[in-house]
Amino acid sequence: MDFETRAIHEGQEADPATGAIITPIYQTSTYVQEAVGEHKGYDYSRVNNPTRTALQRCLASLESADHGIAFSSGLGAVTTVMHLVDPGQRVVLIADVYGGVYRMTSQVYEPKGYLFDYVPAAEFANLSDHLDDDTRIVWIESPSNPMLNVVDIRAAADAAHAAGAILVVDNTFATPYLQRPLELGADIVVHSTTKYLGGHSDVIGGFAATNDHTIAERLFFLQKSLGAVPGPFDCWLVLRGIKTLALRMQRHCENATAVAVWLDRRPDVEQVYYPGLPTHPGHAIAARQMRDFGGMVSFLAASPASAAEIVGRTKLFQLAESLGGVESLIEVPARMTHAATATAPFAAPPNLIRLSVGIEAAEDLIEDLEFALATVGVRA
């Protein structure tokens, strides 16, 4: 079955008890056993829950994975996957990794003796030079947050494997509709389902998928042992969001392309970052490994002050953290989502504006930006 069909049906047979077409929210902590240890696969909801099972099966299928493991947040997924690493071992990350991941690696794991190296996207062509015998994981985002850098996933997987490491891809920005890293050689995919997969800015969630049996067993063990599990209602919200993922992503991509092209033509915008623009350094790779270029666009305002002014003037683009919902958002990463990277070697530029382009009418979105940029331009 095709992606769109699996997004609606996979893991979601009619409820055997009632025929309910939609997977019920199994809001229960425990399950009655017929005799000691005799149950239908469910004994306690931290370990397993039918609504979570439906989500795990559906999303695993969309990522072309045998195994899917759901978490309470994207960072819940990240911290659980990081437990595959022991102190003294090394994780090599793309330098402009999500700010919350950087906060975790630098302030939680590094003090415990884990080793982290941050490699700029432009140096990924020489990734092997950055890997040694201690390297356990190569960790990338593509496109990355917030610089929209693109990494050749197949090449990164080959380099990681040659060094005896595994490749983890945070696929939050692309979603499996646009890009399936496991098909390109990655070992684990992680997601913040808070973003496009949920799609409606009403849930926090995370996910990991893999085709490696040993890794899957370890991650299921860590899921129940560390306990960063999602509640049944949150799983249900993500399942519901996924049903329209394909349609929403098509529109996100159309609108983001329109906005990026429009921004790129403006003389008062110094630089636009969108992998769909032919001038983007990762355009050719993105065109090869993605179905389309996604809904995120970043650009440089003239100064940090004008960045702050612009994000205060848009009306449809609402000033907020997060991304991937149907409504458009605008933010200044250096002061909001990526504030934790301020003192890092690869901080987000202070005049960078990040757009999560929603699925409203593109003309309305452009008019909104036009107003904000024009009025700031006049005062500058």
Give the interface with ligand PLP as residue ranges (CB under 6 A): 73-75, 98, 100-101, 141, 145, 170, 172-173, 192, 194-195, 204, 206
CB closer to ligand PLP out of 48 and 194: 194
Q: Which residue among 6, 90, 180, 195 is the active-site one? A: 195
Integer Cα distance of 109 and 351 in angstroms = 30
Q: Which residue among 96, 152, 170, 234 is the active-site one? A: 170
CB closer to ligand PLP out of 62 and 296: 296
CB closer to ligand PLP out of 23 and 192: 192
Q: Which residue among 26, 98, 102, 274 is the active-site one? A: 98
Tokens of 199: 């799609």
Told to judge if 98 belongs to the known catalytic residues of this protein, a careful annotator would answer yes
CB of 194 to ligand PLP, least distance (A): 4
Integer Cα distance of 291 and 180 in angstroms = 10
CA 244: distance to chain centroid?
A: 17
Told to judge if 315 belongs to the known catalytic residues of this protein, a careful annotator would answer no
CB of 78 to ligand PLP, least distance (A): 6
Q: Which residue among 15, 46, 57, 240 is the active-site one? A: 46
CB 354 within 8 A of CB 146: yes
Long-range pairs for 331-337: beta carbons < 8 A, 24 or more residues apart: 332/304, 332/307, 332/308, 333/99, 333/146, 333/298, 334/304, 335/308, 337/98, 337/99, 337/100, 337/145, 337/146
CB of 193 to ligand PLP, least distance (A): 7
Write the CA distances from 150 to 167, 220, 259, 355, 366, integer angstroms.
15, 30, 19, 17, 25
Told to judge if 46 belongs to the known catalytic residues of this protein, a careful annotator would answer yes
CB of 185 to ligand PLP, least distance (A): 20
Told to judge if 177 belongs to the known catalytic residues of this protein, a careful annotator would answer no
CB closer to ligand PLP out of 100 and 241: 100
CB closer to ligand PLP out of 74 and 176: 74
| Amino acid (1-letter code) at residue 376 | V
Integer Cα distance of 324 and 201 in angstroms = 8
| Amino acid (1-letter code) at residue 355 | L
CB of 195 to ligand PLP, least distance (A): 6
In the bound complex, which residue of the shown chain has the CB atom lying closest to ligand PLP?
74
| Amino acid (1-letter code) at residue 58 | C
Integer Cα distance of 200 and 202 in angstroms = 5
| Amino acid (1-letter code) at residue 274 | Y
CB of 265 to ligand PLP, least distance (A): 28
Integer Cα distance of 167 and 132 in angstroms = 14
CB closer to ligand PLP out of 147 and 372: 147
Instruction: Give catalytic residue positions.
Output: 46, 98, 170, 195
